[in-house]
Amino acid sequence: MRDHFDTRSRGNKDQPATGGQDFKDLVESSPVAFYTCDKNGYLTYFNRAAVRLWSMEPEPGRDLWHSPWKFYYPDGQPMPLDACPMSRTLKEGKSFEGVEITIERSDHTFRNLLVFPQPLFGEENDLIGAHNTLVDITTQKLGDQNQAILTAIVESSDDAIVSKDLNGMITSWNKAAEHIFGYTEAEVRGKHISILIPPALLSEEDTIIGSIRAGQKIDHFQTIRRHKSGKEIPISLTVSPVRDSTGKIIGASKIARDISERLHTEKIAEQSVHRLSVLNAVGKAISEKLDVQAILQQVTDATTQVSGAAFGAFFYNKVDEQGESYMLFTLSGAPREAFEKFGMPRNTAVFDATFSGKGNVRVGNIRKDPRYGHNAPHHGMPKGHLPVVSYLAIPVISASGTVIGGLFFGHPEPDKFTLEHEELVSGIAAQAAIALDNSKLFEEVKALSAKKDEFIALASHELKTPLTSIKGFLQVLDRADREPTDKLFITKALGQVEKLNALVSDLLDVSRVEGGQLRFDKVEFDLKEAVNDIIETLNYTHKTHRILVSQPEDRLVVEADRQRIEQVLVNLLTNAIKYSPKADQVWVELEHSPDTVTVRVRDKGIGLTPEQQKNVFTRFYRAEGTSGIAGLGLGLYLTKEIIDRHGGRISVTSTPGSGSEFSFSLPFTKKINKY
């Protein structure tokens, strides 16, 4: 097909085919597309580059030159076929030199071309066809576009983008660089990059250039650079080596981001985190504590910290008889003496706003406030007063609406306190008010409880005084020879006196446990001996049951309050007897391990349900179904308290209807001594 290339068809027979076959080969292998067509536009010849451009192989003589294409102007507008340079050449016989067009090929790809259509005339000078040379400029066009895009990106970036050669000389400078550093491109191009570097950091440049020469990129390096005005700016630098087409490093591109905004945001974030942690700590502390002084100190410290005050104080809203003083309570950031010198803060116009519940007071400069300086004798802060200029006062208001007190903050510089500070402190003040209310309730309850304990102690003493004489006189009566009935009655009366005495003792003990006043008189004694003594007494006084004991031969020496441990044994044994009315035996077992001695008291009585077992050591708890059996529900509570406070353990296992086993263990203080 390529044979259709025929130089003669140019209609110039006088000129021999230059080079003949050689010339044909030259055209054939040219990288520039070339074709010829007849006057009707049918292709007569095309070279390989043309086939590549068409991306198809046309059939000479049958396919038109334009058949696979659509045409566009360079700006993308469609170009009618008639307007194509080649169409015009064929129609008008005109030649064109380098007209730019865009073609869309059958595979919908686009190419940018420069076309050079030339008419071919016959011997009669008639138009017999045309040839066209098509130069593909797509790549160059794309390169231009990319360049334009890159330039636009660089110019529109908010980051300074600067390039420099390996000597540090600035070679390009974008708009943002102008904005960030204050120099125009003209001012800095060709200057050394060090004009941007603060003198103290000049050595950084050597390090940077060193890395660049070594082909290493520097990523997000935070440093300081200098604005034209001399102002220092925190920036984040990314520096990359720039290579030429052979890969040789010829310079560096440098992206500098102004991070003052970011650092500022980070600082704010850090502050909020800090504030949150302070708030959290204070919230936790005041909800856990019931001690007013501790709560107030915590609140004063925390609020002084979050408000950035130089000093802070909490004053209680207490008015003395002259209607003046407020009681100073807690201080932060200043020693107590700083206030004590002046006596108490006074009921002045400035303080009144807070204590009378008029809300928060926040003043940039209190010395210029209309309320300031009206009170004799100082008319303002007395000499030596803490230097308050910025002033913030937040009332602490209880749930009932009364002003409990006020939080006061000062700073020696003006305008230190913001609305945010005010809100933060108000939040804490609200929490503090709740905590203070609770603490007040707690104090009241504590006072009532103390009164109750005092009453019980007095009552038990008063009850025991008549018991002493009743018991004494009954015993005196019992000495003489009497009728058996008299004897029996006296014994019964004495038994009741003992019961009454035990109840009174238990009541008193409970109030002492509650008040934390149960005292132990610890001595070393043989627990086995104590158990045997008690069993002997009980076997004598409780004829209904036999107490059977099994015990090791060793002495079981413990360090404990003997009287209290005996009280425990009596409680457990009398309970075992009391709650096994149908049985006639109770068992006691003593055993020991190297560290502890254990006493088990077992009965075949009415037993306890699992629910009852859980509650049996609770104060005033009485198991259901025991209403016929006397008791206040104090014995086991006291028993557990006594054992707990000796570092021992007490437990119960029981089956309703078949009996219970109570056991307690005490730690050995000494090794077991053999007899």
Partner 1 sequence: MSSLIKKTICVVEDDPDISDLIEYLLADMGFNVTCYATVDAFDRRPAGTVPELLILDIMLPDGSGLDICRRWKADQDSPKIPVLIMSAHSEGKSLAQDVCADDFISKPFDINEFARRVQLSLAS
Q: What does the binding site for partner 1 look like in residue numbers (CB under 8 A)? A: 457, 460-461, 464-473, 475-476, 497, 501, 505, 508-509, 512, 519, 521
Q: Is the dihedral of CA 71, 77, 81, 86 positive or negative?
A: negative
| Closer residue to partner 1, CB minimum distance, 17 or 477 | 477
Instruction: Find the length of the chain.
Output: 675
What are residue 310's phi and psi, to 5 degrees? -75, -30
DSSP β-bridge partners for residue 523: 560
Least separation in angstroms between residue 559's CB and partner 1 is: 16
Residue 168 DSSP label = -
Least separation in angstroms between residue 472's CB and partner 1 is: 4
| Closer residue to partner 1, CB minimum distance, 87 or 571 | 571
**Among 165, 195, 170, 207, which Cα is nearest to 185's?**
170
**635 in Cβ contact with 579 (< 8 Å):** no
Least separation in angstroms between residue 359's CB and partner 1 is: 54
Least separation in angstroms between residue 535's CB and partner 1 is: 19
Least separation in angstroms between residue 448's CB and partner 1 is: 22
Task: State the Cα–Cα distance between residues 397 and 406, nearest whole angstrom.
Answer: 8
How is 357-412 classified by DSSP, letter by letter?
T---EEES-GGGSTTTT-STTTSSSPTT-----EEEEEEEE-TTS-EEEEEEEEES
Least separation in angstroms between residue 504's CB and partner 1 is: 9
Report the DSSP pairing between strands 70-72 and 99-104. Answer: antiparallel
Q: Is the dihedral of CA 197, 203, 208, 212 positive or negative?
A: positive
What are residue 224's phi and psi, to 5 degrees? -120, 135
**576 in Cβ contact with 606 (< 8 Å):** no
| Closer residue to partner 1, CB minimum distance, 421 or 646 | 646
User: Which two tokens mark 248?
Assistant: 């040789």
Task: State the Cα–Cα distance between residues 654 and 439, nearest whole angstrom.
Answer: 42
Least separation in angstroms between residue 500's CB and partner 1 is: 9
Instruction: For residue 272, give every residue at least 6 positions away whose Cβ sits within 8 Å of its Cβ, in sequence order, or none.
Output: none
Least separation in angstroms between residue 529's CB and partner 1 is: 19
**646 in Cβ contact with 573 (< 8 Å):** no
Q: Alpha carbon 440 to chain centroid distance?
A: 33
| Closer residue to partner 1, CB minimum distance, 93 or 515 | 515
**435 in Cβ contact with 295 (< 8 Å):** yes
Task: State the Cα–Cα distance between residues 641 and 650, nearest whole angstrom.
Answer: 10
| Closer residue to partner 1, CB minimum distance, 567 or 654 | 567
| Closer residue to partner 1, CB minimum distance, 3 or 521 | 521
Task: State the Cα–Cα distance between residues 642 and 509, nearest whole angstrom.
Answer: 10
**CB count, 10 Å around CB of 80?**
8
DSSP β-bridge partners for residue 661: 602, 653
- Specify the amino acid at residue 401: G
Instruction: Classify residue 99 by burial, with Cβ atoms within 10 Å: 0-12, 13-18, 19+.
Output: middle
| Closer residue to partner 1, CB minimum distance, 69 or 525 | 525
Task: State the Cα–Cα distance between residues 366 and 309, nearest whole angstrom.
Answer: 14
User: Which two tokens mark 624?
Assistant: 């259901």
Least separation in angstroms between residue 570's CB and partner 1 is: 15
Least separation in angstroms between residue 311's CB and partner 1 is: 48
Least separation in angstroms between residue 457's CB and partner 1 is: 8
What are residue 544's phi and psi, to 5 degrees? -70, -30
- Strands annotated E in 50-156: 70-72, 99-104, 110-115, 118-121, 127-136
Least separation in angstroms between residue 470's CB and partner 1 is: 8
**347 in Cβ contact with 318 (< 8 Å):** no
**Among 56, 61, 28, which Cα is nearest to 43's?**
61
User: Which two tokens mark 662?
Assistant: 């109570």
Task: State the Cα–Cα distance between residues 493 and 503, nearest whole angstrom.
Answer: 15
**CB count, 10 Å around CB of 190?**
10
Least separation in angstroms between residue 512's CB and partner 1 is: 7
| Closer residue to partner 1, CB minimum distance, 259 or 634 | 634
**CB count, 10 Å around CB of 325?**
16
| Closer residue to partner 1, CB minimum distance, 136 or 509 | 509
| Closer residue to partner 1, CB minimum distance, 482 or 519 | 519
| Closer residue to partner 1, CB minimum distance, 341 or 461 | 461
**CB count, 10 Å around CB of 98?**
12
| Closer residue to partner 1, CB minimum distance, 235 or 513 | 513
Least separation in angstroms between residue 557's CB and partner 1 is: 22
| Closer residue to partner 1, CB minimum distance, 346 or 464 | 464
Least separation in angstroms between residue 473's CB and partner 1 is: 6
Q: Alpha carbon 455 to chain centroid distance?
A: 51
| Closer residue to partner 1, CB minimum distance, 137 or 493 | 493
| Closer residue to partner 1, CB minimum distance, 470 or 632 | 470
Least separation in angstroms between residue 314's CB and partner 1 is: 40
